[in-house]
Amino acid sequence: MDKNKNNAPAKRRWSVALLFLIPALLMIGKLSALPTSSFLWQWCSFAHLQSLAAHRLQYVLFVPIGAVEVVFFRQTLGFRLLGPFRSILIAVAFQITGILAGLVFLVMIIGVIVAIRPGLKKLRLPYFARISIMLSAVSLIMILVILGCEWMGLRMVEQVAYFPIVVICLTAEGFSRTVFKEGWGSALWRGGMTALVAVLITLVSEIPQVSNLLLEYPEVLLTQVGLIILIAEFLDWRLFEKLNPARKKRKRAKAAKLTVPAAAAAGAALAESRDEAEEQTQTL
């Protein structure tokens, strides 16, 4: 048993080394001077795809790059985000809508969701009912924005119609939940950092050299997985963690002094906490 434990770090190091070694060998094998070049370019590259298919494939290829940036911001720099996935999902949306239009629309939707969430909480609806109402509200807002842009002749803003509704709703719900649990300061900070990382991922995706590299050498994705492991193992410094706002502590009533109304309120709070746990499981 002890021998297996001692061998575990060595096996993990070899696994990480393979994540860098295999892509390197494939890239070397694509050199024109080697006999494996034509085979590898045919079966281990997307360079031969038509422009439309290659453009759509880029959204998938950029997800690991976004994951590297998210891990770097959280583990190395120490900035708290609204979960590990939202920045990547927002970045994919920004690639479709544009950064400026996407940011304006996202902020507007978050404001609406934060405003209606307390009312939905008072209705004591289950999580799936609340999130479905929010999806409907976001859809209605998108329709109104598109109609308003059509009326004012702002054609470019119509691209917000391609902003994934689920992405907006999950981001807004995560922000509003952070407001409730940790306060406005923490919510604004985490929301701002999430949007910043999404913008950086989008800017990287717009670099032609990076896009061409991923299409010609998709094996680089294995290297990105290795980078994530290296950041988690050796670069977990959290350099600026002290800049994160302090979490708001919610007061809890003492069980010994509960009156009947207070007991009812405590029961509602308990049910609410269960809903919060369910939301976190579903959205994060």
**Dist. CA 87–CA 53, nearest whole Å:** 24
**Dist. CA 56–CA 229, nearest whole Å:** 28
**Dist. CA 71–CA 229, nearest whole Å:** 9
Answer yes or no: is 39 within a domain.
no
Angle at 37 between CA 33 and CA 43, to 5 degrees: 175
pLDDT value of position 265: 43
Same domain for 148 and 261, yes or no, is no
Residue 155 confidence (pLDDT) above 70 = no
pLDDT value of position 269: 46
Residue 185 confidence (pLDDT) above 90 = yes
Same domain for 211 and 275, yes or no, is no
Same domain for 214 and 119, yes or no, is yes
Q: If you ran DSSP here, which 8-state letter would residue 247 be given?
A: P
Percent of the chain with pLDDT over 90: 43
Same domain for 151 and 273, yes or no, is no
Q: Give the CB-side neighbour count of residue 196, counting CA atoms within 13 A.
A: 11
Would you place residue 279 in the very low, low, confident or very high pLDDT band (cuts 50, 70, 90)? very low
Would you place residue 2 in the very low, low, confident or very high pLDDT band (cuts 50, 70, 90)? low
Domain count, the chain: 2
pLDDT digits (tens, 9 = 90+) for 73-129: 999 999 999 988 899 999 988 988 889 888 988 898 899 888 888 888 888 888 888
**Dist. CA 207–CA 239, nearest whole Å:** 28
Mean pLDDT of all residues belonging to the chain: 82
Same domain for 122 and 223, yes or no, is yes
Same domain for 245 and 177, yes or no, is yes
Answer yes or no: is 8 within a domain.
no
Query: Is the model more confident about 281 or about 82?
Result: 82
Same domain for 60 and 174, yes or no, is yes
pLDDT value of position 201: 95
Count of residues for the chain? 284
Contacts with 191 (C-beta within 8 Å, 6 or more apart), sequence order:
82, 110, 171, 175, 178
Would you place residue 53 in the very low, low, confident or very high pLDDT band (cuts 50, 70, 90)? confident
Same domain for 185 and 280, yes or no, is no
Percent of the chain with pLDDT over 70: 82
Query: Is the model more confident about 274 or about 29?
Result: 29
**Dist. CA 228–CA 237, nearest whole Å:** 14
Longest dimension (CA), the chain: 83
Residue pair 77/278 in contact (Cβ under 8 Å)? The answer is: no
For residues 6-35, give the mean pLDDT: 87
Q: Give residue 185's domain range.
A: 45-250
Same domain for 194 and 160, yes or no, is yes
pLDDT digits (tens, 9 = 90+) for 225-244: 999 999 998 999 999 999 99
Answer yes or no: is 34 within a domain.
no
